[in-house]
Amino acid sequence: MSGLRFTDEHEWVSVEGDIATVGISDYAQGQLGDLVFVELPDIGRELSVGDEACVVESVKAASEVYAPVSGKVVAVNEDLNDTPALVNEDAMDGGWFFKVKLSDPGEVDTLKDQAAYDEYIEGLG
């Protein structure tokens, strides 16, 4: 287990076996503001690192969520369809977006760990 990992684009990844759960960080949801809509990927979709995986809509604007790892989408958080606010309320757990079956488990190790991410967002001001 590599523990929680983060991208510079504020996605988080949590791995169990070869299944990775992906969400956006609490910092990200705070920056976005209230979410009103989330567009999740189709189950079965093959994602490569950096692909646009989801779209989140705040009151004012749309933003992309990128795939932090490569793999096939095996589950999505249906709760976000009715309650996009879950992402604001619980970004790190209940507000998860999708799960992928990793095609390259080594990718996760290249991402920032919690300490590195905390330092990174502190540097953003």
CB of 122 to another protein, least distance (A): 10
80 part of the interface to another protein, by CB under 8 A: no
Going by C-alpha positions, the residue among 52, 100, 97, 57 that lies closest to residue 77 is 97
Candidates 34-42, 69-77, 89-97, 112-120: pick the segment binding another protein (CB under 8 A): 34-42
65 part of the interface to another protein, by CB under 8 A: yes
CB of 18 to another protein, least distance (A): 25
- E-strand spans in 1-125? 5-6, 11-16, 19-24, 35-39, 46-47, 52-58, 62-66, 71-76, 98-102, 112-113
39 part of the interface to another protein, by CB under 8 A: yes
In the chain, helix, strand, coil percent, each to 5? 25, 35, 40
Q: Which residues make up the interface to another protein (CB under 8 A)?
A: 9-11, 24, 28, 31-34, 36-37, 39, 55, 57-66, 81, 85, 124-125
